[in-house]
Amino acid sequence: MDFLHIVLLAVAGFLAGALNAVAGGGSFFTFAALVAAGLPTLDANATSAAALTPANAATVVAYRDEVRAHFRQMLPFVVIGTAAAIFGAWLLILIGDEGFRPLVPWLLLVATVMFAFSRQIRTSLAGLHGRIGVALAYGIMAIVAVYGGFFGAGMGIVMLAALAILESGDFHKANATKAVVALMIQTMSAVVLIVGGLVHWPHAIVTMLASVFGGYLGVSVARRVPEKVIRAAVVAVGAVLTVIFFLK
């Protein structure tokens, strides 16, 4: 890495930590920065997952009051997320870089569309109640956890949409739940990918240090900045990256 790469990864890591604390989407920044720093797409994805895990932990610490108050309700999502994330990371290693690279623009497109229509997703899901709604919420969380172990960009907003079925408009409770589950998803994914030898540690450490700082401060941002402002910025970044990777 040269100095410019270090600066690029530090900035991307800080933004990723802060955005993941607000609603998700930070992987857009770290994945793109790691590819720009010269890593293959598969290695960039694995390194991003490992690097952002401590930032998610910092966000959980910042939400410690909500976590303490609602941990029992979070536990089923944690169990689902852990198991599904291991499967997603294993699937990523199985297909390799040749199989993963053609999927990148499509995964970015899906994640960007999920962000762009997040309000509509939440509104439609929030109207579901009873056993069907609860089953759907758990099913969505399982699918998102597999996706999170495999790629992860945009998973936060879908988790919030699933939680909208159960949380009755309590955003910070839902966001705290999302942070805890995302931490477990990325931890399990990172362990599998590290064992698979895909993580580049010099790049990961720079990104990690910056993202922890951003992740802790991001909760303060989440409490002050309108969510639609953050979402608009993430959608714009996701759209640009989608176009770039389709053209490459």
The reported pLDDT for the residue numbered 9 is: 95
First to last CA, the chain: 23
- Owner of token pair 């108050």: 69
Q: What is the DSSP string of 75-132?
A: HHHHHHHHHHHHHHHHHHHHHHHHHHGGGHHHHHHHHHHHHHTHHHHHHHHHT--HHH
The reported pLDDT for the residue numbered 128 is: 61
The reported pLDDT for the residue numbered 11 is: 93
The reported pLDDT for the residue numbered 208 is: 93
CB atoms within 10 A of CB 45: 28
DSSP state of 55: H
**pTM (whole model) above 0.85:** no
* Alpha-carbon span 187 to 56, nearest angstrom: 9
The reported pLDDT for the residue numbered 7 is: 95
* Alpha-carbon span 181 to 168, nearest angstrom: 19
Q: In order along the chain (248 residues), what is the average pLDDT of each group of 10 residues?
A: 92 86 77 92 90 82 86 88 91 87 85 72 64 75 85 73 64 80 87 90 94 78 68 77 83
CB atoms within 10 A of CB 17: 31
CA distances from 91 to 52, 83, 138, 156, 189 (A): 20, 13, 21, 20, 10
* 64 Cβ neighbours under 8 A, 6+ residues apart: none
